Amino acid sequence: MKILLPVDGSIYSTRAARYLARHWPADAAVTLLNVDAPLRESIAGYLDADSVARFHLDNGSATLRPARRLLAKAGHLFDERMLIGDPATEILRLAKRGRYDLVVMGSHGRGVLKSLFLGSVVVKVLAGSSVPVLVVR
């Protein structure tokens, strides 16, 4: 069973990771994913490609850290992916192309208005996903 676990470093995505670690299916092949928003042109224009790549690598790695630690501590094996782009678009694209069976996400992300609404990324993923989505609050 291929499971995609997109995280953004927020408390909600860490909860989703903890939930998956506890309810790990026996045949699970989990991919931990972070999608970093691209740097604005006005900023990226001053940097060379290596610096931009380094920036995204540092960002992505720091964002994956809480979930990575959780899953590793629970003794699970998993893959990691870091992508750059619009989070919802990239999650949907990878879920489809990678033929995942399930997407597991936190109910909220880093945005404001946390308790009232579902996160904007999770709403977009729910609206566009052809595979089941498990939303963990």
Enumerate binding residues for other proteins (CB under 8 A).
19, 23, 25-26, 107, 116-118, 123-124, 126-137
Provide, rounded to whole angstroms, the least separation between the CB of residue 102 and other proteins: 8
Q: Name the E strands within the chain.
A: 2-6, 29-36, 78-84, 102-106, 133-136
124 three-class SS: helix
By C-beta, is 42 or 130 nearer to other proteins?
Answer: 130
Provide, rounded to whole angstroms, the least separation between the CB of residue 137 and other proteins: 6
By C-beta, is 60 or 91 nearer to other proteins?
Answer: 91
C-alpha dihedral sign at 93, 9, 23, 30: positive
In this structure, which long-range contacts are made by residues 37-40, counting pairs with CB atoms below 8 Å and at least 24 apart in sequence?
37/84, 37/85, 37/86, 37/87, 38/84, 38/85
- CA 56 from chain centre, in angstroms, equals 14
- CA 37 from chain centre, in angstroms, equals 12
Provide, rounded to whole angstroms, the least separation between the CB of residue 62 and other proteins: 26
By C-beta, is 56 or 108 nearer to other proteins?
Answer: 108
By C-beta, is 59 or 120 nearer to other proteins?
Answer: 120
Provide, rounded to whole angstroms, the least separation between the CB of residue 127 and other proteins: 5
